Structure 1
Amino acid sequence: MYREHVSPWCYSHYHLPTQALTATQSDSQIFKKFRQLCGRTGLLPASHMILGSLIKTRDHPIASGAFGDVWEGIYAGNRVAIKSLRVYRDDDVRKARKLFCKEVVMWRKISHPNIVPLLGVSEAPAPISMVSEWMPNGDVRSYVEKNPEVSRLQLLLDISRGLSFLHSHEIVHGDLKGANILVDKSGRARINDFGLTIIASLNCTETSASSGGTYRWMAPELLGLEQNPNKRCLPTPQSDAFALGMVAIEVFTGQVPFPELTRPFAVTKKLVDGERPPRPPKASKLGLSNELWAAVQSLWAQEPGDRPPLDTFVDLLERVNPDMGLLEELKEFDANSDEHIAKLDYMLQYGDNALFGMREDESLVLIELFDRVGLHSTPSPPCSDMPRF
């Protein structure tokens, strides 16, 4: 399954050791061994590499962070994002490569509508870079600022589903924030940059609480370093849940948590002391009900074990707006999901007459969906049966 050529950018004196895999081992066990192997050797199979011409279309990066720089590019005629690895210290280069390979293998395997797809890895142009689909609407915070009419509930549901999916595969994001959540051409939120926190930490000369500006989203257990400076707390699904609550603030306000505070210490002290962002005053009109606000607050519990499972949060979001769950069912109905969703949106605006011109199976599915949300769904007679005047 995983016997593939080694990536040409890897050191030639490395060789992937062969390991006997029994027929009884599951695909997940085989993949786990494969991922561990890539992490130990710092090598990738050829199927994970970008082959062909990859061109940067700008002279300067469009964004920079603790991990590296992000460039706009063209690959196979399509716009792509190129995220290059940046490591300052020579003794960290090999370590970074191994961590990079281990995380890339996982990201390449993931497929979910709320996760940014990774196309592959490239070494040209240098340095080593990840290439992903271009998200034309930018990050979620800038998106809601430019498009105040968008459904904040839908965006939050997208993000929650993506994060829940990662956790179901034992993947911790570790750096969830609005800047790492992008919006695709259809206006759906997609999680980006998961699993890269450890690599980014190689470049940090300060404590993890102040690295990369992520302290506003970090759970208290990740911030209380003064209690034991020699103990490093790693991100967990529970700390991801805490960060999701902070992302909810971004989605409903278009601002970072605690926007009035500019000093990192002031923010971290509030979080460690148990203080949380206040309820946005105008967010109720955008869907932040009392029930949902209580759920967001539960994600901020001081003790990690007191935070609810993400599935519970997703269920609540689907319950407060049932149409969301129906739209997801509609997406599963046919490969042409974007077309179906557009038709459903049209029907919500124009009613039964929108059924004209649809295939019978499409029409029946949409009628059933309408019946379930309590809307009139009996199609009007076709034009040929209408009386003429």
Structure 2
Amino acid sequence: MSRGYNLAWVCRYFFQEFLRTYPLFRKTVQVPSNLAVADIVAYLTKHAGITDLTGELTKWQAPDYPIAAGGQGQVYCASRSDGALFAIKCINSHTDEKYGKHTAQELSTWAKLKNPKILELSGLGMFRGRLAMISPWMEGGSVKNVLKANPSMDAYAVCEQLAEVVRFLHDLNVVHGDIKGDNLLMGPDGNIKLTDFGLSVMHDKTLQFSSTELGGGGTLRWMEKLYLDGAERTKEADIYAVGMTMLELITGKIPFAEITNSVPVIKVVLHEKRTPDISDLAKEPISPRAYIMIGAMHRCWRYDPKERIEAKELVKLLDVMGKV
């Protein structure tokens, strides 16, 4: 299967999901099956409200090699004529249709989320022959690195921001599905920027992507027992991951840091029902903020998902923490 065919499939799938979400356009917009990828991008940007930056990208300065690469694609840091920096995430071509749904789903969900604590989707376009998603470049990098480089920075306040943005998502019935420190960037305004919606699920009457369609994914140390068993992504699982991420941000250590290989984490979570070591937080004397945070984490990690704290309640609890 050629690269162009795969990109066309991704774009057509995204467009079909857009029409499913906005039925008004079904009778007014038809996409010929023989359209080129670039033309399909034009349709998407016209009717889904996403900016087509294909023409602009040819004027931007970008290095020959990406600054990051993985199985899903490569990321380039490009400079616009006015000096503004942008991240260009190029999508790899794959023959697996599940990957096409994965990419289309990320675009579909990301485009609808407008919040100062969510990384903005500036647009999409063709970059060096591949479909790309474009967003502002976050010079500060990951929140984890910023906290490490600035020990005096208030990690507890960052955790409050995380709870707030997750409440925003859950109020919209959006499940992120991959909350962890690596998916939190630091914006120039001091706000965290949640990114990577490739595993997210949007539950409503017109649009739903299931984890069975999208395959596995996620990161073992941040995943709750039902994820590990192959269940669908849920708000409760997001909350579990929020607890893990708060621990990560405050201590600077990944969950279950004492376990060097990620695979045994499955055993301790599924069968031993263990929670991460919080001894770094529980050192005497325990500060009032640490005491509240420890309680919040344990409410995020309840083994029974139904007993976990909801995002809106977590925001209230951490707000109290911020005042002590």
Name the TM-score, length of structure 2 as normaliser. Answer: 0.76
Partner amino acid, structure 1, of 2:147: V
SS in 1 for 2:55: coil
- Separation (CA, whole Å) in 2 of partners of 1:311 and 1:81: 32
Deviation at 1:216, TM superposition (A): 0.6
List per-residue Cα deviations over 1:247-289 (Å, max 9, x = no partner): 0111101221122322122122112121111214257788742
- Separation (CA, whole Å) in 2 of partners of 1:105 and 1:190: 18
> In structure 1, what is the equivalent of residue 92 of structure 2?
86
- Separation (CA, whole Å) in 2 of partners of 1:14 and 1:63: 27
> In structure 1, what is the equivalent of residue 115 of structure 2?
112
List per-residue Cα deviations over 1:134-188 (Å, max 9, x = no partner): 1111111111111111111211111111111111111111111111111011332
- The answer for unaligned runs of 5 or more in structure 2 is 1-6, 34-39, 202-208
CA 288–15 in structure 1, closer or farther in 2 if over 3 Å, else same:
closer
Deviation at 1:62, TM superposition (A): 2.3
Would you say 1:303 and 2:309 are equivalent positions? no
> In structure 1, what is the equivalent of residue 280 of structure 2?
281
> In structure 2, what is the equivalent of residue 74 of structure 1?
79
SS in 2 for 1:83: strand
Partner amino acid, structure 2, of 1:149: S
CA RMSD of aligned residues (A): 3.6
CA contact (8 A) 2:124 2:131 kept: yes
> In structure 2, what is the equivalent of residue 57 of structure 1?
62
- Separation (CA, whole Å) in 1 of partners of 2:105 and 2:135: 17
CA 122–111 in structure 1, closer or farther in 2 if over 3 Å, else same:
same
> In structure 1, what is the equivalent of residue 194 of structure 2?
191
- The answer for unaligned runs of 5 or more in structure 1 is 1-8, 19-28, 225-231, 324-389
CA contact (8 A) 2:147 2:153 kept: yes
Deviation at 1:69, TM superposition (A): 2.1
- Separation (CA, whole Å) in 2 of partners of 1:283 and 1:186: 32
Listed as ranges, the matches of 1:1-389 within 5 Å are 10=8, 32-33=21-22, 44-46=44-46, 47-48=49-50, 49-54=52-57, 55=60, 57-75=62-80, 77=82, 78-88=84-94, 90-92=95-97, 95-196=98-199, 208=216, 211=217, 214-224=219-229, 232-272=230-270, 273-281=272-280, 288-322=289-323
Query: What is the total number of aligned residue pairs between the two structures?
Result: 286
CA 101–265 in structure 1, closer or farther in 2 if over 3 Å, else same:
closer
Partner amino acid, structure 1, of 2:290: S
- Separation (CA, whole Å) in 1 of partners of 2:288 and 2:117: 21
Partner amino acid, structure 2, of 1:163: V
- Separation (CA, whole Å) in 1 of partners of 2:262 and 2:118: 29
CA contact (8 A) 2:109 2:197 kept: no
Deviation at 1:51, TM superposition (A): 4.3
Deviation at 1:67, TM superposition (A): 3.1
CA 99–263 in structure 1, closer or farther in 2 if over 3 Å, else same:
closer
Deviation at 1:112, TM superposition (A): 0.8
**4+ runs of 1 displaced by more than 4 Å?**
13-18, 34-38, 40-43, 282-288
CA 150–16 in structure 1, closer or farther in 2 if over 3 Å, else same:
closer
CA contact (8 A) 1:121 1:129 kept: yes
- Separation (CA, whole Å) in 1 of partners of 2:314 and 2:264: 29
Give the % identical residues: 27
